[in-house]
Each structure stands twice: as C-alpha cells, then as structure tokens.
Amino acid sequence: MTMEKILILGGYGLTGKPLARHLLQQTGCQLVLAGRNLAKAGAEADALNAVFPGGRVSAARVDAANPQELRAALQGVDFLLNVAPTTSVTETVVRAALDAGVDYLDVQLSANKLEILKSHADEVERRGLCFITEAGFHPGLPSALVRYAAQKLDRLERADIACYLNMGVGLPYSEAVDELMEAFQDYQAQVFKNGAWTRPGSYEMRKVQFGGEIGQRLCYSMFFEELRALPEMIPSLQNAGFYISSTHWFVDGVLTPLVMLGLKLAPRRGIRPMGRLLWWGMQNLPKPPHLVLLRLEAEGRKDGTPARVELSVSHPDGYELTAVPVAACLLQVLDGSARRPGLWMMGHLVDPARLLMDMRGMGIEVHDGNV
C-alpha cells in the first residue's frame, strides 16, 4: 500500500473516529484529523498515536465554510475524506478539493450535494481525479450488494434489500441528523417494478424475515439515488427496491408522519426540533436487539436453472457500519484497483466481493447464502 496523506474532515466525530482507526490498522497512510474544534482533534490524534506507532496522526483546525482554511489544510494532502455534516457548504469543499488536486470521498445523503458534484463531474475527470460520493452503509452498500448478486448469478432478475435500523440508546444528537431532516424534505420513495420505476412518492410495504431475534418485520420502501443506475448496469434486472423496517409503532405511525408534516410547514426552522423529536423516539422507544442490518434477497438464473442469493451485513454500531465500508473502499482506491478518474458512487465503483471480504476482516458480520 503506497504512503498517502489523508485529511479526514470530521475526523474526531462519530464516524471519523472508527474510520481513522481502521485506516491506521489497514494502511500505512498518514492522517490529518480536521474540524472546527482543534482541541478535540488534537486529543483524538494523541489517543491514536498512543496506540499506533510512528506518529502518523496529526490535527488541524478547519472550518469547511472557510475556503482559505480548507486550501491551507489541503497543502501536501493526497485525499480528502469528508465525514462531517457539510452539505450546506458543498460547493466550497468541492472547489477546494479540485483546486488542491486531491481525490475526494463523502458519506452524506443529500440531493443538493449530489447536484453540485455532478455539475463539476467533467472537471473532475479532466483533472484525472477520483471523486466518490454516497459512501457508507446506506447509501453506499445497497448498490454494491445488488452488483454482488449479479456477479454470483448468470442472470439477475430481482434484488431487494431490507434494512433493520435500531442503533440503541445513549447516542448524542449531531448535525448529521439535521442533514437527514433536510434530505427528508424533498424525499419521495420509488422502487423498480416490472422493468420500470414506480411513480415518485408511491410507497410500498412488504413483510421481511430478518431471522434471529429480529424476526419478521413490516418494511416500507425507500429510495437512494445510487439505485437508479442499476437497471442500466444490469439489463436483466426487472425488480429492485430498498425497504426500511419498522422498529416501534409510535415511531412509525405517529412521530415519523408528524416530523414529515413539521418539515413541510417549517422547512428551515423545523429541521432541528423535528430532528430532535425523531431522534428521541428512535433512541428511547425501540426494544432490543440493538443492531443495524442490511439483508439482500436476490433471484435469477444460474447454469440455466432458477437460483437465489441471500446475504446479510450487520453490526451493533451504525457508525462502525458506516466507517468500515468507506475504509474497505479506500483499500481498493489506494492500491489503484478501483481508482478511476471521474465522479462515482461508491457502490458503482468498488469490486463488491472484495469489499465484503475486507469488511468481514474489519469486524462486520457478513453471512452469505449459497447460490
């Protein structure tokens, strides 16, 4: 693995901490933990240097809204990892990465961020840079899992992914929840059904058997932009969707509709109070098991006969399950096997089989059903 210098914007946050740890374990990279609080960044850098020899971690104060600070921090850096809630200043961050000539990856769910990145896609490719967006576990893993099923089958016809999201208690509210509320404002579910996308906003429900303590759950359709390209990438695909499970009747039937209504009535001022309300419900009402799990069920043909692929990916800590796919993706980018100029979604770029293998090696539970 070549020596690289990586700046992690948000490097002392809930996703940044495990991501930094895995990169130090898996690579010889130097890391710069960056954010608005230099004391927190420095304390985390010191803690990591006490565990990993070589003094490979440093700290920097960087306000993502400040172009001058960003440009100064990116001097001598090879890669910008953006795991901070910065969607409101996407243009500033992207411009700084382009001007510095560094590769880029983000984990944020934001339609506005995606549109800004797309507007710079030609320049990214022209400069020979690799920009990766929609990374993490969702978005990020869903399209990678569908592509994995396509690798296992001669012909993939159906691929559904269901998510059980119960992160447990005690997690602090963060600005990332604010970004999620912003994403919900214009959110409309879709699934790919009988060879065509359903009308935006056409929600579907289905029961999914997760197994174990979770058992069977009612799931609701969701949509991530990474899914849109899958029918073109896999022409045999006729049905595909992403579904999120229910966790508690009051969260699903009362709080979530109330939050959606609040965001429509107060698009700006409602973000923080609605976010805190939903976060309170998700933290306090669902019962164990506390687990984040993605389950793939796929059908198609292998050697001329009907075949099925089942796979689950899980971890008790949702932030760990966000950080590990990013680290596994970077292993492929850093060794050159997945580094291609242009703008990419993580799930479209990586080798999915290797991604899952490396994730398993970093502590994620991966259970693969036979074809």
Q: So what's the pLDDT on residue 370?
A: 65
Q: Which domains does the chain have, with CATH numbers?
A: 5-137+319-364 (3.40.50.720), 141-316 (3.30.360.10)
What type of residue is 39?
A
269-277 contact pairs (CB < 8 A, 24+): 270/181, 271/178, 271/181, 271/182, 272/178, 272/181, 274/181, 275/173, 275/177, 275/178, 275/180, 275/181, 276/173, 276/177
pTM of the model: 0.92
Overall average pLDDT of the 50-65 stretch: 96
Q: So what's the pLDDT on residue 276?
A: 86
Q: So what's the pLDDT on residue 170?
A: 66
Is residue 141 predicted with pLDDT exceeding 50?
yes
Average confidence score pLDDT of the chain = 91
Q: What are the structure tokens assigned to 198, written together?
A: 């359903």
Strand-strand pairing, 305-315 and 192-193: unpaired
